Amino acid sequence: RARPVRTRVTPLLPMPDLFSSTSSPEADGTGALPPAKARKVGSPSIVRGADAALLAAAAMKARWSSLVLVEVTSTSPDYIKPWKMHSQRSCKGSGFVIEGGRILTNYHVVQDAIDVRLRKHGVSRRWRGTVLARGPDVDLALLAVHEDEEGRGDSFWNGVTPAVWCSTLPALQSAVHVIGFPTGGTTISVTQGVVSRVDCKNYRVGSSAFANSGGLLVLQIDAAINAGNSGGPAFCSDGSVVGVAFQSLGGAADGIGYLIPTQVCLNFLAAVAGGEYKGISDVPFLARELRNASLRRRHRVPDDVTGVLVTRASSHSALGVRVDDVVLSIDGKKVGDDGSVELRESELVSYEFLLTGKQRGEPTSVLVLRGGERVQLCAPLSQLPRRLPRNHGFDCFPHYVIIGGLVFVRLCCPMLEDKRSKGHHSAIYDLVNYQIARSFPPADGGGEGGEVAEILLLTEILAAPLNYGYTCHAWRVLDTLNGQRPKSLRALHQMYRAVPDGAFLEFVFSHGGDQIVLDATECRQSEPDILQLHAIPSATSDGLQGGGEEPAAPAPAP
């Protein structure tokens, strides 16, 4: 037999007034609440809070006049077919005015720009801009404004207040406001968040991310950063700039954006002020963690000592770090077994920022354990020679040489990043792995006197009667021409010109010793027809036809 459920009814108590000055009501015997004690609008605490909020908002809004919309039209060279250019494209980003009548933005916003237009916040007119300096390794660029070239009389600088840099690295959980012109609208956008993390990160992304100079400091924030925010400022609560928006983490990750911190920006500006920007210093060694007990004993590392083990070192660095050295400290900062150093109290980041975050020529002190003995090293760092050029317009250009329909180019990072290279990525990466990964930094191929031998690549065979039958030799590294190894495209062109008529050209390639043999006379006679058939203006790119010392003529192939 089911038993009835007895429910105990409890009288309802009056709800406390959450907005009164007390959280517990005073009963008057009837159960009724006394009238709520309303806080006066003019009370000192509210006035002080309102004044502080208004002052902060005013300080922030005063800096908005430094914001600039950057509209760019660009076109980039085709590194697969270097005699061509890619289609013209347009994009937009953000920037902001700094001291000296200049505008700072991201390098990737104005990369390959052929026309730059600048619009101030709240003004519809566009002014023409010019790129003064580029820093691809730090993703920064400096712009100038062409003043009143249309004769309209209104100055770009009217009502503009340059942004002010924050003097310190922001603390975790510090409030930040990211301002710019992202997608989703045409007017200014302001997003708010906090500094979530201070870390050391590779600024280079994409297919050539492995070719970076080393990790740089980065601020991670949870404020929204979208396409179009790039190059825009991030302000802290006092209205000063703590960083420049440049990346966001897409995909499943949400609310992860990255800022270039003030220190990196100021180093870039200082380098530009001192002359032509030449890039940050390369980390001159690679190291592995030193946490395994056997590995530590093998290198005679005491139990109370921490550090990292050098596995590769550049012979071109003045610092003098060697393979099997144990790096104990950098500039007096102790290096942990995992490669971390203390940034601030209880905050650890990679040791690389101590090397990449310096201005050129600034000395670096490194304490190493070498054969069980402590050795103090000190020298300024610099960029290291590389066989794999990294940036178009800096250390590489779309040069080529065509000999008998064989198209030769130099292997470089822009080739990996070229959209047309997607169909050839496996072949290119095989070349990178075999030709580059064996040395440090990637293709540290310097010879005597720092001379760097280029990696020459056969990318295509343009069909012609004289090269009939050679259809499967593309994407090979050229080893020798008639027994001699050309050190550059220029040297290859000069060696070809030095071979007499009636002799043969014997090209030998790596990966199995493949070879192609052509008649030198037929190559020269067929050149005009091949170029006309494929709409190619010249057999060599501009700049390779003259200059430099003539190499010794290679012996004709028998």
Contact at 8 Å (CB) between 438 and 375? no
Is the predicted pLDDT of residue 427 greater than 60, yes or no?
yes
For residues 483 and 477, the answer to whether their CB atoms sit within 8 Å is no
Q: Name the domain boundary from 245, 278, 311.
A: 278
The predicted structure's pLDDT at residue 146? 87
Which pLDDT belongs to residue 184?
87
Question: Residue 87 carries which side chain, given as an amino acid letter?
Answer: S
- Pair (208, 269) in one structural domain: yes
Lowest mean pLDDT segment, chosen from 102-116, 126-140, 268-282? 268-282
pLDDT in tens, 348-367: 999 999 999 988 788 999 99
Average pLDDT value for residue range 81-103: 94
Residue 40 in any domain: the answer is no
Distance (Å, whole) CA 221 – CA 390: 29
The pair of structure tokens assigned to 75 is 């076109």
Nearest CA-CA partner of 278 in 365, 397, 388, 359: 359
Nearest C-alpha neighbor of 131 from the set 120, 144, 149: 144
Instruction: Determine the Cα–Cα distance for residues 369 and 367; give it in Å rounded to an integer.
Output: 7
Shared domain check, 183 and 289: no
Mean pLDDT within 431-457: 60
Coil, helix or strand at residue 470: coil
| pLDDT surpasses 60 at 239 | yes
Share of the chain above pLDDT 70, in %: 78
549 is a domain residue: no
Shared domain check, 297 and 266: no
Per-residue pLDDT, averaged over 189-212, amounts to 88
Structure tokens given for 58: 């005013």
Of these ranges, 402-416, 426-440, 543-557, the one predicted with the greatest mean pLDDT is 402-416
- Span 220-247, mean pLDDT? 94
Residue where a domain terminates, one of 380, 414, 449: 380
Q: Do 375 and 339 share a structural domain?
A: yes
Residue 527: which domain range?
Answer: 400-533
Asked if residue 465 belongs to a domain, the reply is yes
Residue 108 φ then ψ, to 5°:
-70, -15
Average pLDDT over all residues of the chain: 83
Residue 176 has pLDDT above 90, yes or no: yes
Could you check whether the bond before residue 558 is cis, i.e. omega within 30 degrees of 0?
A: no
- Return the ∠ at Cα 133 (arms to 184 and 364), rounded to 5°: 110
Shared domain check, 314 and 253:
no
Higher pLDDT, 23 or 429: 429
Q: Maximum CA pair distance of the chain? A: 121
**Confidence tier at 440 by pLDDT (50, 70, 90):** low
User: How sure is the predictor about 419, in pLDDT bands with cuts at 50, 70 and 90?
Assistant: low
The pLDDT score that the predictor gives to residue 465 is: 93
CA distance 203 to 140: 11
- Quick one: average pLDDT of 284-289? 93
Q: Is 429:551 a contact under the CB 8 Å cutoff?
A: no
Q: What is the CATH number for 132? A: 2.40.10.120
Q: State the DSSP H helix or E strand holding residue 348, giving kind and residue range, or none if neither.
A: strand 347-350
- 102 SS3 class: strand
148 vs 84, higher pLDDT: 84
Give me the catalytic one of 108, 121, 177, 493. 108
306: in domain: yes
H or E segment and range at residue 44: helix 44-63
Domain identity same for 178 and 199: yes
Same domain, 59 and 161: yes
* Cβ neighbours, 10 Å, residue 284: 27
**387 touches 443 (CB < 8 A):** yes
In this structure, the dihedral spanned by the alpha carbons of residues 344, 347, 351 and 355, taken in order and rounded to 10 degrees, is -40
Question: Has residue 447 got a pLDDT over 80?
Answer: no
> What gap in Å lies between CA 172 and CA 263, rounded to an integer?
17
Across 79-83, 113-117, 147-151, least confident range:
147-151
Task: Name the pTM for this structure.
Answer: 0.82
- Catalytic site includes residue 315: no
Of the listed ranges 90-94, 226-230, 276-280, 548-552, the least confidently predicted one is: 548-552
DSSP string, 180-198: E--TT-SS-EEEEEEEEEE
**C-alpha distances out from residue 62 to 56, 96, 190, 385, 429, Å:** 10, 13, 14, 46, 50
Which residue, chain included where needed, has tokens 């809004």? Answer: 61
192 pLDDT higher than 80: yes
E-state strands within 186-284: 189-201, 216-221, 233-235, 241-248, 257-261
450 lies in some domain: yes
428 and 478, same domain (yes or no): yes
Q: Out of 78, 137, 139, 418, which one is annotated catalytic?
A: 139
Residue type, 504: F
Compute the distance between CA of residue 490 and CA of residue 551 in angstroms, rounded to an integer.
10
Which of 36-40, 51-55, 417-421 holds the top average pLDDT?
Answer: 417-421
Same domain, 127 and 186: yes
Question: Are 353 and 210 part of one and the same domain?
Answer: no
CATH classification at residue 431: 3.20.190.20
pLDDT mean over 38-58: 53
Task: Give the Cα separation of 298 and 371 in Å (integer).
Answer: 10
pLDDT band of residue 35 (cuts 50, 70, 90) is very low
| Whether 464 contacts 531, CB under 8 Å | no
Q: What is the pLDDT of residue 417?
A: 78
DSSP letter, residue 452: B
Residue 547 lies in a domain: no
Selecting among 65, 76, 189, 230, the annotated active-site residue is 230
> What pLDDT shows up at residue 512?
63
In whole angstroms, give the CA distance from residue 167 to residue 150: 39
Q: Is 534 a catalytic residue?
A: no
In a domain, 393, yes or no: no
Three-state SS at 228: coil
Expressed in percent and rounded to 5, the helix, strand and coil fractions of the chain are 20, 30, 50
**pLDDT at residue 5, as a whole number:** 35
pLDDT at 422: 57
Query: Do 501 and 527 have their domain in common?
Result: yes
pLDDT at 224 over 60: yes
Q: Which residue has the tokens 């009667």?
A: 465
pLDDT in tens, 314-337: 888 899 999 999 999 999 999 999
- Give the model's pLDDT for residue 1: 36
Per DSSP, the three-state class of 477 is strand
Closest listed residue to residue 146, CA positions, set 165, 128, 123, 171: 128
| CA pair distance 85, 88, nearest whole angstrom | 9
In a domain, 511, yes or no: yes
Model confidence band, residue 17 (pLDDT cutoffs 50, 70, 90) = very low
Q: Say how far apart CA 139 and CA 154 lie, in whole Å.
A: 31
274 lies in the same domain as 293? no
Number of domains in the chain: 3
- Looking at residues 115-126, what average pLDDT do you find? 92
pLDDT band at 12 (very low <50, low <70, confident <90, very high): very low
230 is catalytic: yes
